[in-house]
Amino acid sequence: MDTTTTSSLVSRREGRTTRRSSQRVEDVERVYVGRNNQASAKTSNLRKIVCSLIRFDLWTLDTLRSAFFKTHPQIINRGVYERFEELLDAELVALHEWEDLYEFGFEVQLQGYLGRLSVQQLLEYVRDLRTSTYYAQLMHLRLVMADMVRTEFQYAEKTSDRTILQHMDWCKTHQEYLAQLVAGICVNSQNLRAIEREASFLRDHVKHAVESGDLDDTTLMQLRRKFEALQELYPDVCVSISGDRRDILTYKHVLWWDPDAEERRLSERDQPPRTLSKHTLAQETSARHYPSLFPQSPSSPASQQHWLGLMLHVRPELRKMPSSTSWSPAPLCNCLEW
C-alpha cells in the first residue's frame, strides 16, 4: 500500500473519530442543558410560591403592627406583634415599611432576597408553618379594621362633635377628618383585595408546580396546611369585597394531595347497589353509629366479654337472655336499633 493510500485511510478514520467525539459532546451538552432548564424551572416555580408566602408574612406583620399602634383601643397586645416579628428575617422585617407593600410592584423589592435563596432554602421556607398560623388573624384583623373605619365614618358623618380617633388627631377640621376616614376605607378595601388576589396567585403557582412535578409529598402537605389556614376566613374576605362567598380550594384541588380521589369516586359510583340481609344491614348500621362498640375481631373471649358488657350497659333487658345463648352480634345489633 503506497503512502498516499495510507494517508487517505488515516484521514478518513480521524474524521470519523472527530465526528463521533463531536456528537458525544453535543449529546452531553444537550443533557446538561436539559437538566439545567428543569432545575431552573423548578427554582422559578418555588420562588413564585415563596414570593406569595413572603407577601402574606409581611402583610401579617404590618397588620399586627397596625392593630396595636394605629387603633384605639388596641385590638391586640404588643406581645403578639413582637412574637410574630421574631419569626421573620431582619431583612424581611425592614421591607414591610415600604409604601407599596400591598401593590403589584412590591414584588420587585423581593427579587434580591429571593435570588439569594437556594432551592433547599426555598423549600424550607415553604415547609415552615410557624407564620401561617397567623394567617387567619391577618384576615380577621383586616376585616375588623375595615369595619371600624366604616362605622366611624357613618357616625362622624352624622355629627360634627364626635371625638377624632387618636391616630388621626392631626386632622384640623371635621371635613378633613371625614376625608381621612374615606381614604382609610379605600386603603382597607385595597388591602383586602390584595389578600384575596394573592391567595389566588398562590393557588395558581402551586397548581403549576404540581403539574411540573416540582413539589415532593412533604412540601405539598405543608402547603395544604397553609391553604387551610387561609381558608378559615377567606370566604369572609370575599364577602367583604364583592358580596360573594368563595372558597380558596375546591374539590379539584383535593386531587393535588390525593390523586386517587377521583378514581375512587368514579369507582364507587359505578358499583351496583348491594343487597343486604336484615341482620347484615342492622349490623352495619349499628357499627356505623357506634364504631367504638364494634371491635374488628371480636372472636377472642376477652373481646366478646367486653362487647357484651357494653351492650348490657346500653340495653339492660338483654340480661334476661338465656345463659346458654351462643355469642353472636346479630341479635344484639337488632336491639340497638331503637
77-87 pLDDT, tens digit per residue, is 788 889 999 99
Name, in order, each residue with C-beta under 8 angstroms of 184's C-beta and a sequence gap of 6 or more: 149, 153
Whether 213 and 247 map to the same domain: the answer is: yes
Average pLDDT (37-55) is: 86
Question: Does residue 189 or residue 105 have the better pLDDT?
Answer: 189
Whether 187 and 288 map to the same domain: the answer is: no
Residue 7 lies in a domain: no
As for how many domains the chain has, the answer is 2
What is the Cα–Cα distance from 262 to 269, expressed in whole angstroms?
10
Locate 223 and state its grid cell: 402547603
Cis peptide before 73 (omega within 30 of 0): yes
Whether 158 and 80 map to the same domain: the answer is: yes
Residue 16 lies in a domain: no
Report the half-sphere exposure of 222 (CA within 13 A, side-chain side): 18
Residue 37 lies in a domain: yes
Whether 216 and 68 map to the same domain: the answer is: yes
Whether 253 and 105 map to the same domain: the answer is: yes
Range name among 77-81, 101-105, 144-148, 325-329 with the lowest pLDDT average: 325-329
Whether 223 and 298 map to the same domain: the answer is: no
Whether 238 and 290 map to the same domain: the answer is: no
Q: Which domain holds residue 307?
A: 278-318+327-336
Question: Does residue 335 or residue 255 have the better pLDDT?
Answer: 255
Residue 41 lies in a domain: yes
Name, in order, each residue with C-beta under 8 angstroms of 321's C-beta and a sequence gap of 6 or more: none
Whether 90 and 190 map to the same domain: the answer is: yes
pLDDT at 275: 57
Whether 148 and 85 map to the same domain: the answer is: yes
Residue 20 lies in a domain: no
Whether 116 and 211 map to the same domain: the answer is: yes
- Rounded to the nearest 5 percent, the helix, strand and coil shares of the chain are 75, 0, 25
pLDDT at 194: 96
Residue 144 lies in a domain: yes
Whether 126 and 190 map to the same domain: the answer is: yes
Report the half-sphere exposure of 288 (CA within 13 A, side-chain side): 7
Question: Does residue 285 or residue 176 have the better pLDDT?
Answer: 176
Domain boundary among 219, 238, 263: 263
φ/ψ of residue 128, rounded to 5: -75, 115
Rounded to 5°, the CA angle 124-198-66 comes to: 90
Phi-psi region of 96 (alpha: psi -120 to 50; beta: other; left: phi over 0): alpha
pLDDT exceeds cutoff 50 at 8: yes
Residue 271 lies in a domain: no
Locate 94 and state its grid cell: 425592614
| Helix, coil or strand: residue 75 | coil
Name the band, by pLDDT with cuts 50, 70 and 90, for residue 211.
Answer: confident
pLDDT exceeds cutoff 80 at 75: no
Name residue 181's amino acid.
L
Whether 161 and 300 map to the same domain: the answer is: no
